[in-house]
Amino acid sequence: MSATDDVDPIAESNDVKSDFQDRSIACIDCNEPFTWTAGEQIFFHDKGLKNEPKRCKRCKQAKNERLTSQERTARCCKRRAINGR
Q: Which residues bind Zn ion (CB under 5 A)?
A: 27, 29-30, 56, 59
Q: Which CB sits closer to Zn ion, 30 or 76?
A: 30
Q: Which CB sits closer to Zn ion, 68 or 73?
A: 68
**Is 42:13 a contact under the CB 8 Å cutoff?**
yes
| 33 vs 46: CA distance, rounded Å | 24
Q: Which CB sits closer to Zn ion, 57 or 79?
A: 57
CA atoms within 13 A on the CB side of 15: 1
CB of 65 to Zn ion, least distance (A): 14
